[in-house]
Amino acid sequence: MRHYSTIDRCIQSLDQAVRSLVPGATTAHRTNPAQDAESKLSIHEARHVAGLMRVNHSGEVCAQALYHGQALTAKLPNVRREMEHAAIEEQDHLAWCEERLKELESIPSLLNPLWYGVSFAMGAIAGAAGDKYSLGFVAETERQVSLHLEEHLEQLPKNDQRSRQILVQMNEDELQHRDTALEAGGVDLPKSVQVSMSVVSKLVTKISYYI
């Protein structure tokens, strides 16, 4: 297996950040689940859905950053591989949310670089804390993301099947990521860490809806 130096890894991190933040730079590996779905929305509904999809898009930017941060500091090679694999699956989510935002004639959150930076740091700290905590952090993140996606699925207008199909597939993937992390040895995080993670995610959710 090829050995990467610290400088290689820093350049790789920068490249990953740019790819996650520049619209159109990430392409999905799987077919968009919305491809055959219909959506008929009023202007008011479309604006609300665009807000929701902007939040989901920011969530996926955060997911990319968390995985990239962890991959940088995780100690065991197999954990690093798990993180990189999950990050690739998150790229599909990012690309699908971006495509839906475009269809709704809207744009991603202007604060995504900030969310990326904060999440990258959190991921790097989790990675450095040791593999069982790192994997526990993934499991907790995915649990919180899944809860949030379920809330959004309830809020979507009934006739927006395009957004719905995307969120349903994302939720399925997030739960799979959580299970994989737990099976690989992830442990429960202290309550205080869980609460701080939920505070950051609420902040992203509230602000990205608008900007």
Closest CB 38 distance from Fe ion, rounded Å: 24
Q: Which of 63, 87, 97, 139 binds Fe ion (CB under 5 A)?
A: 63
Closest CB 157 distance from Fe ion, rounded Å: 22
Closest CB 7 distance from Fe ion, rounded Å: 29
State which residue, 41 or 63, has the beta carbon closest to Fe ion: 63
Secondary structure in 3-state letters for the chain: CCCCCHHHHHHHHHHHHHHHHCCCCCCCCCCCCCCCCCECCCHHHHHHHHHHHHHHHHHHHHHHHHHHHHHHHCCCHHHHHHHHHHHHHHHHHHHHHHHHHHHCCCCCCCCHHHHHHHHHHHHHHHHHCCHHHHHHHHHHHHHHHHHHHHHHHHHCCCCEHHHHHHHHHHHHHHHHHHHHHHHCCCCCCCHHHHHHHHHHHHHHHHHHCCC
Closest CB 143 distance from Fe ion, rounded Å: 10
State which residue, 50 or 145, has the beta carbon closest to Fe ion: 145
Q: Which of 177, 181, 186, 208 binds Fe ion (CB under 5 A)?
A: 177
State which residue, 36 or 179, has the beta carbon closest to Fe ion: 179
Q: Which of 57, 68, 93, 164 binds Fe ion (CB under 5 A)?
A: 93
Q: Is there binding between residue 189 and Fe ion (CB under 5 A)?
A: no
106-165 residues near Fe ion, rule: CB under 5 A: 142
